């Protein structure tokens, strides 16, 4: 299998950069006329997979919405991952894990090893126990041709107290970006180690030239626009994956309406290549 960066570049070229979040939270289940139970979770999630996985490059299930149902919910997540990949979409599993030592290795085994039923193309991770705490995940990505998207500049109001903090080597966010830049050095067409940067952060003076991709939550219903992406990322916007959940999922449960919403989202961000 080719490395994640190469697969992602191909997916963007063939299917576009729009990333659809498969997030079955209670309000959306209710909006679809469904109950808050495992059967409804399964119906919701697999309907979304049927609609969007054949037409978008990346889907992003948020693990917590499945985990809250226990083992039966995780079994649904396994199907979401497998069926999305079978339909040709890359799966970026949003787990935001971050720990040390053997625990970090166990997370890497769970989500990045092809032998695991939860194995995905890429995952999200938190570096705030020190970037070195992610080494087992980094090595697993290299071994299994997977990707890692690391939290850098998030849209939540609490984020700046950590991410904007300044030490001898610059801001915390800047140090994380430096680590990603080193991991992606000399990669072509793009590295496999990306940054999570919110579409609603306003602006940043950080150097975003990391030769890697960006997961950009907060696009669409949460307020982020295409103009925001151009302003934040500049020429690096061509490697941005604007992610939206509610804006697409609210079109359900009709499969055609969901697919059309995903296609509209893709069309709206095609100009970022320019």
Buried residues in 94-106 as b, exposed as e (16+ CB within 10 A): bbbbbbeeeebbe
- The radius of gyration of the chain from alpha carbons, rounded to an integer in Å, stands at 18
- Beta strands 58-61 and 90-97, pairing class: parallel
H-run or E-run covering 21: strand 19-22
| Pair 177, 207: CB distance under 8 Å | yes
Per DSSP, the chain holds a count of helices (H) and strands (E) of 12, 10
H-run or E-run covering 151: strand 147-153
3-state secondary structure of 196: strand
Distance of CA 177 to CAs 28, 169, 243, Å?
34, 12, 20
Query: Which residue is catalytic, options 10, 25, 85, 96?
Result: 96
- Judged on CB neighbours under 10 Å (0-12, 13-18, 19+), 59 is buried
H-run or E-run covering 77: helix 71-86
Is 60 annotated as catalytic? no
Task: Cite the active site residues.
Answer: 96
């Amino acid at each position: 299998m080719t490395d994640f960066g190469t697969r992602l570049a191909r997916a963007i070229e063939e299917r576009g950069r729009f990333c659809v979040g498969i997030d079955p939270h209670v309000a959306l289940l209710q909006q679809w006329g469904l109950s808050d139970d495992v059967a409804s979770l399964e119906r919701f999630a697999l309907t979304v997979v049927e609609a969007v996985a054949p037409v978008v490059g990346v889907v992003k299930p948020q693990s917590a919405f499945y985990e809250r149902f226990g083992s039966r919910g995780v079994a649904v997540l396994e199907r979401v991952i497998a069926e999305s990949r079978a339909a040709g979409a890359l799966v970026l599993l949003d787990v935001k894990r971050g720990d040390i030592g053997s625990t970090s290795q166990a997370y890497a085994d769970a989500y990045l090893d092809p032998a695991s039923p939860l194995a995905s193309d890429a995952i999200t991770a938190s570096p705030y126990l020190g970037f070195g705490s992610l080494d087992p995940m980094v090595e697993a990505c290299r071994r299994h041709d997977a990707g890692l998207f690391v939290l850098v500049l998030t849209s939540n109001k609490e984020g700046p107290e950590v991410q904007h903090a300044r030490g001898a080597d610059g801001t915390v966010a800047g140090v994380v970006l430096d680590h990603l830049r080193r991991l992606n050095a000399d990669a072509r067409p793009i590295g496999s180690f990306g940054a999570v940067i919110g579409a609603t952060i306003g602006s940043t003076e950080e150097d975003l030239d990391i030769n890697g991709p960006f997961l950009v939550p907060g696009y669409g219903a949460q307020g982020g626009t295409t103009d925001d992406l151009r302003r934040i990322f500049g020429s690096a916007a061509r490697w941005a994956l604007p992610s939206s959940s509610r804006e697409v999922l609210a079109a359900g449960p009709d499969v055609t309406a969901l697919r059309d919403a995903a296609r509209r989202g893709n069309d709206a961000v095609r100009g970022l290549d320019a």
